[in-house]
Structure 1
């Protein structure tokens, strides 16, 4: 009886894993591929399913930030170069410019790195992001009494920097949310704004990854269409809930504590990837 429903069970569990880890500073692609391999999925199919399921968490992000997206769409007809990073157009311009920067960095890096980038480098990078977050927490804790000016709208340079950093997530084991959120924090954004911009930036990236697999492979290799849809729906539902929980934590808990928690998780995750790749 278990064998009969095994594909659906794995699909649900894969959706849960994707929905949770996508927003944390650990590689969702690496962790989900590892899980799928452990339950018997071939490595190539595991990687393809992990990429496809980014469509689910992309839907989560789009639904959670639907008001921001609608505001940007309504303001699009009034877009002008001189006001690109002002008012409602700021987020749209940020996402567009950041995606262009991601392509300029990520595509050449992918073609140069494919074939010799190992999980060890990814694990070290995850751990480095964890250390960066812990350091952010230390600085935040030390400066609690200082009235620091925080940015409210993204700038052109923010978009270029964050987009370029996101290009690094093309490497195995590198956390997209970890590198983009850290970059925004060090650009003087408060935690909720940093997470919001990072999640919005995940939408075009997730759509591209999911459609790439579906179009090039004619579906999702290794699983039935039914199982793929179940996994997709599960990742969307769990991803939506996870965004809400994380944002409530970020808004109510001192951010230095959030940094320590997420940074410690990334260090442990990075160390685990490094050990597995050794």
Structure 2
């Protein structure tokens, strides 16, 4: 990839990883509009590392408190909100792990990466996000999350393995349907993304180690840095303005994006 292609794709990954607008829906556009080839396995690893670094950097205080109290609960020091949250994040990740393994074993993970599937899921789950944002009570803070609610959000996250669904979009949709505030829904969604990105990045890394394709380390460095910076900025401003602007702008955007992708299917 040339420098422009590297920066554009890294920006797309960094921005869309945490916004409820479907990263797969955007990553397919350059190929459709500009004829760009697939960015390759090594680049996927680099941008995963970048987005992971961004979310960890933003939530490092929360993650430190969760890890400290979770380890304390293992040592018999009692239960706190942070220790419970640690357990909830672990268990809520399992549905995506199981569903991902099933799809990979059946060979459906790549088979579903079509414009038709992505356009449909972008529209359907975008509309569902809008409904949840309008109808949700938006009264429950993150501190009141229960194990049952965490698992329901975790099962919703598993649906994001279907391209075009949007991991952040479907998890926030589930949280809003259960009455969470927008801020609480977004924060739980972002925290839940960390073990998923770690897992996905680790699998990609294993595939990369087995691969014999030469690696352009300069391109990977640029991709990782650009995706990290753009992802951090995205998380910062999304959480800063989510309660003011709501999710409807993202819903409208998804409708437009889904319509454009649908045009590629029929025309």
Structures share fold, TM-score greater than 0.5: yes
What does residue 198 of structure 1 align with? 189
Consecutive unaligned residues of structure 2, counting only runs of 5 or more, are: none
Specify the SS of the correspondent of 1:173. Answer: coil
Which whole-Å deviations, capped at 9, do the CAs of 1:83-113 have from their partners, x for residues lacking one? 9985111221121011112112332144443
| Closer, same or farther: CA 150–237 of 1 in aligned 2, 3 Å | closer
Matches within 5 A, 1:119-158: 119-139=115-135, 148=139, 150=141, 152-158=143-149
What does residue 228 of structure 1 align with? 220
Q: Aligned pairs, how many?
A: 263
Aligned with 1:160 (options 148, 151, 157): 151
Which whole-Å deviations, capped at 9, do the CAs of 1:31-73 have from their partners, x for residues lacking one? 1243267555423x45763464122111111111111100011
Give the superposition deviation at 1:115. 5.9
Mapped partners of 1:33, 1:222: distance in 2? 24
Give the superposition deviation at 1:158. 1.8
What does residue 171 of structure 1 align with? 162
| Closer, same or farther: CA 183–198 of 1 in aligned 2, 3 Å | same
Q: Conserved in 1, the CA contact under 8 Å of 2:16 and 2:22? A: yes
Mapped partners of 2:246, 2:180: distance in 1? 15
Which whole-Å deviations, capped at 9, do the CAs of 1:157-176 have from their partners, x for residues lacking one? 12221111111222222211
TM-score, structure 1 length as denominator?
A: 0.82
Mapped partners of 2:262, 2:213: distance in 1? 28
Stretch moving more, 104-113 or 127-136: 104-113
Aligned with 1:24 (options 16, 19, 44): 19
| Closer, same or farther: CA 275–203 of 1 in aligned 2, 3 Å | same
Aligned with 2:51 (options 33, 57, 60): 57
What does residue 248 of structure 1 align with? 240
Consecutive unaligned residues of structure 1, counting only runs of 5 or more, are: 1-5
